[in-house]
Amino acid sequence: MEPAAVPAELISRIRPLKGLILDVDGVLTDGRVIIDDAGRESKHFDVRDGHGLKLLQRTGIRVALLTGRVSRVVEHRARELGIDLVFQRIRDKLAAYERIRELTGFRDGEICYIGDDLVDVPVLARAGFAVTVADGSAHLAPYVHWRSAYPGGHGAVRELCELIMAAQGTWTDVTSRYLPRPRP
């Protein structure tokens, strides 16, 4: 995927970020939920999104998941990614957002929120850096500062992680083990 260029007007929004809160369905997934005969749910996650979140956490950014639904799959995925702040079956996302603020001590201006649908708007309207995905609802446009080029479940989160690391100047350091300096 193309590395995200950092729009100049976003630098001052991204630099202070200490936390990233993600909606799950439609952001970390493409929004589809597969339910088998036994009622068990499965979802598809993107491995590159996951690696982006791991890299971002290595730079010191705290990551949280916030979803209206509840499934074991999300628990498993969060554990794999080393995410301990997981809020499921949340009816009022703004209340959960406030809880995360209390737990972390982060201010609005230090939090990035990414969501894809109407239920995310109350939080998008508060977070210092409000983001949606390429295929997020058009109704979110007035409330977001940035829309990814990649859709939910297919690279949007990776793109956001790279954008944050590029703007905060942490990308080169965190990827040095994979990207050695070019030979002279």
Q: Does 162 bind Mg ion (CB under 5 A)?
A: no
Residue 36 tokens read as 């088998």
Give the strand pairing for 19-22 and 34-35: unpaired
Distance from C-alpha of 19 to C-alpha of 23, rounded to nearest angstrom: 13
135 binds Mg ion (CB under 5 A): no
Question: Does residue 116 touch Mg ion according to CB under 5 A?
Answer: yes
Q: Backbone phi, then psi, for 19, in 5-degree steps?
A: -140, 150
Residue 49 interacts with Mg ion (CB under 5 A): yes or no: no
For 64, the enclosing helix (H) or strand (E) is strand 62-66
What is the dihedral sign for C-alpha 137, 138, 139, 142?
positive
Q: Which is nearer to Mg ion, 23 or 167 (CB)?
A: 23
User: What are 107's two structure tokens?
Assistant: 């201010």
| Binding-site member from 19, 26, 50, 52 for Mg ion (CB under 5 A) | 26
Options 13, 19, 21, 23; binder of Mg ion; rule CB under 5 A = 23
Supply the minimum distance, in Å, between the C-beta of residue 139 and Mg ion.
13
Shortest spacing between CB 8 and Mg ion, in angstroms? 29
The contact set with Mg ion (CB under 5 A) reads: 23, 25-26, 116-117
